[in-house]
């Protein structure tokens, strides 16, 4: 995959949340919310705050979903990212 975001945008791959609760109850796929965490895969040249591999937290409805080489990603503007997860 070769994708270079433009403007102040990054390409993020969502990180799936756990499918069971702390008490062991299995959450069905249709009841799960979209994960709001992800890993930065590509960064535009204008973004200096993030690097590839950073784990980030972003808004639930932020960005635009895209499919590249059969994988799903989200293109997110830097202002829609809340912060880096350590």
Is 0.85 surpassed by the pTM of this model? no
DSSP per-residue letters across 44-57: -TT--S--TT-EEE
Asked whether 13 and 73 are in contact (CB, 8 A), the reply is yes
Q: Structural domain of residue 74, as residue ranges?
A: 9-84
CATH number, position 78? 2.30.33.40
The confidence band for 60, taking pLDDT boundaries of 50, 70 and 90, is confident
> Structurally, how many domains does the chain consist of?
1
Summarised one tens digit per residue, pLDDT across range 5-49 is 999 999 999 987 656 666 777 766 555 556 689 999 999 999 999
| Residues contacting 74, CB < 8 A, separation 6+ | 11, 12, 13, 14, 38, 58, 62, 63, 64, 65, 66
């Amino acid at each position: 995959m070769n994708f270079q975001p433009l403007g102040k945008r990054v390409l993020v791959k969502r990180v799936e949340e756990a499918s069971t609760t702390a008490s062991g109850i299995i959450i069905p796929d249709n009841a799960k919310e979209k994960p709001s965490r992800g890993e930065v895969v590509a960064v535009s040249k204008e973004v200096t705050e993030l690097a590839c591999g950073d784990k980030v937290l972003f808004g639930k409805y932020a960005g635009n979903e895209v499919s590249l080489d059969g994988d799903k990603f989200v293109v997110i503007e830097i202002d829609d990212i809340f912060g880096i997860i350590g």
